[in-house]
Amino acid sequence: MKKFIILSALLLSYAGVYAQKPDMKPKPHTLAHHDSASSPMGGKNDSVPAPVVTHHHITIDGKTINYTVTAGYMPMKDKDESVKAKIFYMAYTADGESAGKRPITFVFNGGPGSSSIWLHMGAISPVRVHFADDKGNQPAPPYTYGDNENSWISFTDLVFIDPVSTGFSRTVKGVDASKYHGYSEDIASVGDFIRMYITRNERWGSPKFLTGESYGTTRASGLSGYLQGTYGMYLNGIVLVSSVLNFEYIDVTRGNDLPYALFLPTYATTAQYHNKLSPELEKLNVSDLAKKVETFSLGTYSYFLMKGDEASAQLTNAVVDSINYFTGLSKNYIRASDERIRDDRFFKELLRDEGKTVGRYDSRYTGEDADDVGERPSYDPSYSAVSGLFNGVFNEYVRKELKYKSDLPYEALTNVWPWTFVENSYQDVSETLRKAMTENPALKVMVCCGYYDLATPFCNAEYAVNHMGLRSYVRNNIMLTYYNAGHMMYVTNADDAKLKADAQKFYQSAVK
């Protein structure tokens, strides 16, 4: 039985997780009306607080955009017609534009167990946290925020969704929250939310997009099939930020050799960033280094891994030399690791001689443990660098600016384990996405990759896309973009600006 570990608000477990088989369709929920007021989760089982509506403006590229924010709940009903859960959302809609023509984007993060706080407050809404510097470091509290000049509100309306048990979303009294904790259950509840929001706000005529980060990319891919197959809702586009479509590709364990090859290029870019490579490699730009290492990793190294115990001494020596060359790790350490470097060990080993560890979500960040022995770091410095900032700012913003009052704690990241999957197979949603793109050849996908992301490495995303089995005319609908950043590539203003520019270009291609 695999052991699942949640390390942060955005993502995944170190171990592989299991998934629903492609032919097992999530069953839809029924959604209730949200037209009565009460305390956020109190009162009658079917009572829902009225949404809170506020009005704002922002100037982007010299143009003033007036927009409305709606913060509230969408109730979820079951077959007995009583409310079982209430999903919290925050919708940003531009004023004075035809709602039937303007694109609408549904946004969520991952975990599982994460709210939408990260993409909301760090990347694409009209507000953004203030970092301490242009490297994305966290300032000293109290924290502040301001207008986001890189907001996507300039070309799409935005609806941020917090799945059940995250953010302010909860089940009602007497309903077991675990009924929503699973791949199928999550797809059904989020998909049904989207269908009802579209229906009630008369947005069936709008171009429709999904944006998900980390496990949110798994959710978005699953939703492409669910919305299309269950409701006939065809999407224009999906943005996958730091993606994982097949969990086999990131399950760095004995017996599954593929991830060792897919992680190695990011080990190299990380080592280069921390000046652990030869002058010859240090002078390369990060994209050229990535390509150079991928050639070895998907060629000679993959062949070596497939040979297993039958690999010759000559081949083994060549692989040890190359891994040492591309990572700076000692040859003795590489041999002792059986030429297979686990990610959690890499975090600790790369800068051990300096008494430092490197981050998982962003390997540019460093931390320090109580001592310098052991295999794994005691915490992820790249998560610690953003957690307090995002939580502090959101709780200030939602109450002060959006006037949304609730005594509930906002669950930026919560424990939703055990997360239900079908056993004996890795979770793989690439087939769901392939089928949706094939049946809807107008569907376009943007895949965003960070060169310093050691949770969902860029080579993993490329490998997944290259093994979807798409016809060439459909494969051309996939756009891969790269950033000199980690999992949250938007923590620096430069990369957030690039993300916006890439997204705007993508939307233009997806809306004819």
Q: What is the pLDDT of residues 40-71, one digit of tens each?
A: 443 344 578 899 999 999 999 999 999 999 99
Query: Is the confidence at residue 360, as pLDDT, over 80?
Result: yes
The SS3 call for residue 85 is: strand
User: What's the CA angle centered on 498, arms 493 and 504, to 5 degrees?
Assistant: 125
Structure-token pair, residue 40: 């956020």
User: What's the CA angle centered on 470, arms 467 and 473, to 5 degrees?
Assistant: 140
| 378: Cα within 13 Å, side-chain hemisphere | 10
Question: What is the torsional sign of CA 187, 192, 193, 195?
Answer: positive
Query: Is the confidence at residue 18, as pLDDT, over 80?
Result: no
- What's 249's DSSP letter? G
Stated as kind and residue range, the H or E segment containing 478 is: strand 478-483
Q: Which residues contact 453 (CB under 8 A, 6 or more apart)?
A: 242, 266, 361, 362, 363, 485, 486, 487, 489
At residue 512, the pLDDT reads: 80
CA distance 275 to 480: 27
Q: Average pLDDT in the 376-396 region?
A: 96
Q: Average pLDDT in the 460-472 region?
A: 96
Q: What domains does the chain contain, in order, with CATH numbers?
A: 30-248+387-510 (3.40.50.1820)
Long-range contacts of 76-81 (CB under 8 A, 24+ apart): 76/29, 76/30, 76/31, 76/32, 76/164, 76/189, 76/192, 76/193, 77/29, 77/30, 77/31, 77/32, 78/29, 78/30, 79/30, 81/30
- C-alpha distances out from residue 385 to 33, 94, 357, 381, 450, Å: 40, 32, 14, 6, 17
Structure-token pair, residue 131: 């970092």
For 168-199, what is each residue's pLDDT tens digit? 999 999 999 999 999 999 999 999 999 999 99
Q: For the purposes of burial, counting CB atoms within 10 Å of the CB of 272, is it exposed (0-12), middle (13-18) or buried (19 or more)?
A: buried
Query: Is the confidence at residue 207, as pLDDT, over 90?
Result: yes
Structure-token pair, residue 189: 């509840």
Q: Average pLDDT in the 458-484 region?
A: 96
At position 22, the amino acid (one-letter code) is P
Query: Is the confidence at residue 37, as pLDDT, over 80?
Result: no
Query: Is the confidence at residue 39, as pLDDT, over 70?
Result: no
pLDDT band at 7 (very low <50, low <70, confident <90, very high): very low
Structure-token pair, residue 338: 């059986």
Structure-token pair, residue 17: 């997780």
At residue 41, the pLDDT reads: 40
Residues in the chain: 512
At residue 179, the pLDDT reads: 92
CB 191 within 8 A of CB 232: no
Q: Which residues contact 432 (CB under 8 A, 6 or more apart)?
A: 22, 221, 222, 224, 225
Stated pTM of the model: 0.92
Query: Is the confidence at residue 29, as pLDDT, over 80?
Result: no
Number of helical H runs and strand E runs in the chain: 15, 15
Bridge-based pairing state of the strands 208-214 and 170-171: unpaired
At residue 38, the pLDDT reads: 34
pLDDT band at 498 (very low <50, low <70, confident <90, very high): very high
Maximum separation of any 2 CA atoms in the chain, in Å: 74
At residue 159, the pLDDT reads: 98
- C-alpha distances out from residue 96 to 21, 60, 64, 67, Å: 44, 16, 12, 9
For 62-120, what is each residue's pLDDT tens digit? 999 999 999 999 998 887 778 899 999 999 999 987 767 899 999 999 999 999 999 99
Report phi then psi at 337, rounded to 5. Answer: -90, 10
16-25, 266-275, 349-358, 450-459: segment of lowest average pLDDT: 16-25
Percent of the chain with pLDDT over 90: 84
CA distance 151 to 158: 10
Query: Is the confidence at residue 13, as pLDDT, over 80?
Result: no
Classify residue 23 as left (phi > 0), alpha (psi -120 to 50) or beta: alpha
CB 427 within 8 A of CB 460: no
| 464, 465, 467, 471 alpha-carbon torsion, rounded to 10° | 160
- C-alpha distances out from residue 237 to 154, 157, 254, 382, Å: 17, 14, 37, 30
For 220-279, what is each residue's pLDDT tens digit? 999 999 999 999 999 999 999 999 999 999 999 889 999 999 999 999 999 999 999 999
CA distance 212 to 231: 20
Q: Average pLDDT in the 391-401 region?
A: 97
At position 273, the amino acid (one-letter code) is Y
- What's 33's DSSP letter? P
Q: Average pLDDT in the 486-504 region?
A: 97
Bridge-based pairing state of the strands 444-450 and 237-243: parallel
pLDDT band at 135 (very low <50, low <70, confident <90, very high): confident
pLDDT band at 136 (very low <50, low <70, confident <90, very high): confident
Bridge-based pairing state of the strands 30-31 and 63-77: antiparallel
Query: Is the confidence at residue 209, as pLDDT, over 80?
Result: yes
pLDDT band at 423 (very low <50, low <70, confident <90, very high): low
12-16, 363-367, 482-486: segment of lowest average pLDDT: 12-16
Q: How many CB atoms lie within 10 A of CB 2?
A: 14
